[in-house]
A and B are shown apart, each in its own frame.
Chain A
Amino acid sequence: MLELDAEHVHNLSKRVKELSGDDVTHCIQCGKCSGGCTVAPDMEEIPSRIMRFIQLNMKERALTSSMVWTCSSCLTCTARCPEGIDIAKVMNVLRMMCLAEGYTPKEKHIHVFNRLFIDMIKKYGRVYELGLMVQNNMMAMTPFRDIGLLPAILKKRKIGLLPHKVKALGEVKELFKKGQTFYKRMKVEGWK
């Protein structure tokens, strides 16, 4: 049962607004985001319900939902919301809060993939596909998954054997630094 009290009821929506700039209290629960969402049909909770969890300060439900991780950031919802809420961005913020506040991500593998992806961008300024595949398989403890596809992909030069760095890596690093400053300013504790 959800217990509401005046002191806390607006906490989560305020926090989400701080971090994303989006005021989820404006959501009118029309469901248009959920209706177009590419992954919602397979989810227990749909995007509009996640917005409702935020409105009612149901932090745990919002942060530990699968939907938050399966969101593919396709932005369909964002493009269609009649209240102009950037739902995909809100999902991003929820993922961030989930980690920062020590909740276990409901979709571990997606989280791992995201982590590796971001680390790679930080390092090379772009994805090193082979490395990402191998690392991801190792982390998921399925080292040989999709191994059969490798020769064909290499032969067709879909991915390279060695990592490549982008020229302006400095600028990429700068972006990450900006991000760090934002998190610090917003007091997102525990976020690396």
Chain B
Amino acid sequence: MTESSHHENIELLTYSEVIDVKGFVGNFDVTIRMRPRSVDMSRCTGCGDCLTKCPAKVPSEADQGLGTRRAIYKPFSNAVPNVPVIDRDHCIYFTKGKCQICQKVCKAGAINYEQEETIRTEKFGAIIVATGFSLFDISKYGEYGGGRYKDVITGLQLERMIDPNGPTGGRLVRPSDGKPAKSVVFVQCVGSRDEVKGMAYCSKVCCMYTAKQAILLKDHFPETQSYVFYIDIRATGKNYEEFILRAQREYGVVYLRGRVSKIHDPGDKLEVYGADTLAGESVKINADLVVLASAMVPNPDARDLARMLNIPYDSYGFYSEIHPKLQPVESITRGMFIAGACTFPKDIPDSVMMGSAAAAKVCTLFAADELTVEPKLAEVAVDKCVGCFNCVDVCPYDAIQKDTVSGRNVARVIQTLCQGCGNCASTCRSGALDVKGFTDKAIYAQISAPFEADEEEENAYAGA
């Protein structure tokens, strides 16, 4: 991130959001809302004085609620840029009208409460969507006490806990009382591979990160014993299977083949009830901490974003590629590429691979002097078009624009966007739209040909 923030050809627009996209490949008009940071980026030195003095404390999003941040904050320690932002919803000055402590402590005079939102629209040639994923809400698993039991956490929360810069300073503790956690139970596939409460799919990364976490725990805190409840282990990457075996053999992580059925909190230790189907035995473990590998799911706003960008998504909300094998990073909208976990759960190597592929596709696109398109494009017979614009509504690629020719409203097809699906041709009531090579006339001729042949044959028989 730091590297890209310094790159001469990269402009990072942080604390910003794409709110509208118009146009087509090579000519996207992108409207960006740049939210007011309330800190002057050009003045802030990143000293961090304000971060410790701000009296307003808020649960930290980056630390998954395990710690707090201030109202003026940096999302995490090595965030780029190294400039804080004021969360106006929680800032005492913005909510109650007084405080301004940060302004007083900032030696650089960078605090600016007056900053306003700015909207900018710019042209871009291509767009890569890499908006990532969210986690399945574990509170749907009442039997695990998810959300109710403090010592039942998600894998991401554990990830934060074992970070030396994290909310516990890298200590492995029970969130309920801050005491060290010694017996840790991991539960795999929470919300994944569950057609009743969660998603039918496998989240793909949790088997591996669970093994990683169990190994790390043993490394950092040798007195911990980890148990992993699993349905089956999905370790299909390079050196992945060996990694799982190391967790089991070198680090003594006990793998139990079964799904946890219930977690009970009698007061001190959590009681975890599951089974090991390999031994054919039900199992009970007293645990200090239970870590749920919650499923990777699409972001809550994934569908809205997709509709704005005009990229299709599957029934879960993951973005769809044109072809899963041959065009995995291209969306059906020309010039719009998709990469990473917004397309489906995947790990970092796979996400990086997709990101690199998408970037290379963009380079190829930009390197060409001319765009090549498929010849089967829709075409408007301007003399027949009555300007009802039904076609505009049915085109899934937004390839039809309203135009005027000699004062008449007519439809116009943008050739770079049209994919020749033919929706418009079958919708047009005045027969003004046709797909080249698939005109109504040609199709009718094909349909009637066999019947004409029959007639000829019949005549031939009649004559005989």
- Residues of A with Cβ closer than 8 Å to B? 1-6, 9-10, 23, 25-26, 29, 49, 52-53, 55-56, 58, 61
Residues of A within 8 A of B284 (CB): 1-4
Residue among A6, A26, A56, A61 having the largest count of chain B Cβ atoms under 10 Å = A6
Tell me, rounded to whole Å, the shortest Cβ–Cβ distance linking B42 to chain A. 55
CB <8 Å contact, B279 and A52: yes
Residues of A within 8 A of B276 (CB): 2, 52, 56
C-alpha gap A61/B227 in the complex (Å): 21
Residues of B within 8 A of A25 (CB): 248-249, 252
Residue among A26, A55, A58 having the largest count of chain B Cβ atoms under 10 Å = A55
Is B69 in the interface zone, CB < 8 Å from A?
A: no
B:169-224 near A, CB below 8 Å? 182-183, 224
Residues of A within 8 A of B416 (CB): none
CB <8 Å contact, A6 and B225: yes
Is B268 in the interface zone, CB < 8 Å from A?
A: no
C-alpha gap A6/B269 in the complex (Å): 14
Q: Which of B227, B248, B281 contacts A58 (CB under 8 A)? A: B281
Residues of A within 8 A of B279 (CB): 2, 49, 52-53, 56, 58, 61
Is B283 in the interface zone, CB < 8 Å from A?
A: yes
CB <8 Å contact, B249 and A4: no
Residues of B within 8 A of A29 (CB): 257, 278
List 7 tightest A-B contacts by C-beta distance, closest first: A6-B225, A52-B279, A2-B281, A52-B278, A1-B282, A2-B283, A3-B284
Query: Knowing A1-B282, A1-B284 touch, does A26 contact B249 (C-beta < 8 A)?
Result: yes
Is B357 in the interface zone, CB < 8 Å from A?
A: no
Range, interface on chain B? 20 to 34
CB <8 Å contact, A56 and B249: no
Residues of A within 8 A of B280 (CB): 49
Tell me, rounded to whole Å, the shortest Cβ–Cβ distance linking A10 to chain B. 6
Residues of A within 8 A of B252 (CB): 10, 25
Q: Which of A1, A23, A26, A56 contacts B254 (CB under 8 A)? A: A56
Q: How many A-B residue pairs have CB under 8 A?
A: 55
Tell me, rounded to whole Å, the shortest Cβ–Cβ distance linking B194 to chain A. 23
C-alpha gap A52/B279 in the complex (Å): 6
Residues of B within 8 A of A52 (CB): 276, 278-279
Query: Knowing A9-B225, A10-B252, A56-B254 touch, does A1 contact B281 (C-beta < 8 A)?
Result: yes
C-alpha gap A29/B279 in the complex (Å): 10
Known: A2-B282, A52-B276, A61-B281. 5 other contacts (CB 8 A): A2-B279, A6-B225, A9-B254, A23-B249, A56-B283
Tell me, rounded to whole Å, the shortest Cβ–Cβ distance linking A1 to chain B. 5
Is B286 in the interface zone, CB < 8 Å from A?
A: yes
Q: Which of A4, A6, A49, A55 contacts B283 (CB under 8 A)? A: A4
Query: Knowing A56-B276, A58-B281 touch, does A4 contact B248 (C-beta < 8 A)?
Result: no
Q: Which of A3, A10, A53, A61 contacts B285 (CB under 8 A)? A: A3
C-alpha gap A56/B253 in the complex (Å): 11
Tell me, rounded to whole Å, the shortest Cβ–Cβ distance linking B292 to chain A. 19
- Which residue of A is nearest B254, CB measured? A9
Tell me, rounded to whole Å, the shortest Cβ–Cβ distance linking B249 to chain A. 6
Residues of B within 8 A of A56 (CB): 254, 256, 276, 279, 281, 283
Tell me, rounded to whole Å, the shortest Cβ–Cβ distance linking B251 to chain A. 11
Tell me, rounded to whole Å, the shortest Cβ–Cβ distance linking B375 to chain A. 55
- Which residue of A is nearest B286, CB measured? A5
Residues of A within 8 A of B183 (CB): 5-6
- Which residue of A is nearest B250, CB measured? A25
C-alpha gap A10/B256 in the complex (Å): 14
B:99-124 near A, CB below 8 Å? none
Residues of B within 8 A of A49 (CB): 278-280
C-alpha gap A29/B276 in the complex (Å): 12
Residues of A within 8 A of B283 (CB): 1-4, 56
Tell me, rounded to whole Å, the shortest Cβ–Cβ distance linking A58 to chain B. 6
- 7 sample A-B contacts, Cβ–Cβ < 8 Å, listed by A number: A4-B254, A6-B225, A9-B225, A26-B249, A49-B278, A55-B254, A56-B276
Tell me, rounded to whole Å, the shortest Cβ–Cβ distance linking A116 to chain B. 34
B:266-310 near A, CB below 8 Å? 276, 278-286
